[in-house]
Structure 1
């Protein structure tokens, strides 16, 4: 299983990445919108796919929703787990805006819990 972590804070992204690697999940880290788009394009060119994307909703530049939409085009079965340290979308409306959204978690979620959710959504993919 392959996962793309898109987190502006590299230190936090590395913590999540290490937990996923311990579970045997191949995890790539992108710290910007441009890095994430490159990773998605590279995977497509290599005829590979990401099953899950962990996406910081407050990604610098405000492009998280556009990135989620782009991911659904490049990797239609990709599941997105949004993480945030904001109360924006705390009403659950993120699920109305992003068809590939599967979870909405606070940034402070324990890494082992986040890794378990990635494993769950990565192995239980379906077209919705």
Structure 2
């Protein structure tokens, strides 16, 4: 499975990446909108883990581009804020499958990736 992590905090992204790679997944990390969209121009991810509040660019732009280019690719949104804590992210982003805090246990995040990113 090919996973794209879009996370502004490189240390946090690296923790998630190591957990996923231990489960046999191929993982690419991007720090912001430009690098994520550049990756998606050439490669389809089976799942995207996307920080809702990016320091460089817009998470919505990344999710919209992914939905346009690869409409079947699910997105797990992560955030360290309470914005969208009411679940309305699912009304705004058609490819949203989960919404969790950035403090999510990496093992739990890995289980969600395995569940939502199943390649059939």
Q: TM-score category by the smaller chain?
A: over 0.9
Given candidates 77, 85, 99, the residue that maps to 1:90 is 85
Structure 2: which 5+ runs fail to align? none
Task: Name the SS of the counterpart of 1:81 in structure 2.
Answer: strand
Calculate the aligned-residue CA RMSD, in Å: 1.2
Query: With structure 1 as the length reference, what TM-score do the two structures score?
Result: 0.90
2:47 is aligned with 1:64: no
Is the Cα–Cα contact under 8 Å of residues 6 and 36 in structure 2 kept in the other structure? Answer: yes
Matched, 1:103 2:98: yes
Query: Stretches of 4+ moved more than 4 A in 1?
Result: none
The answer for the alignment partner of 1:7 in structure 2 is 7
For residues 75 and 34 of structure 2, the distance between their equivalents in structure 1, rounded to whole angstroms, comes to 18
1:33 aligns with 2:28: no
Q: TM-score of the superposition, structure 2-length normalised?
A: 0.96
| Corresponding pairs, count | 120
Q: 1:88 to 1:62 in 2, by over 3 A?
A: farther
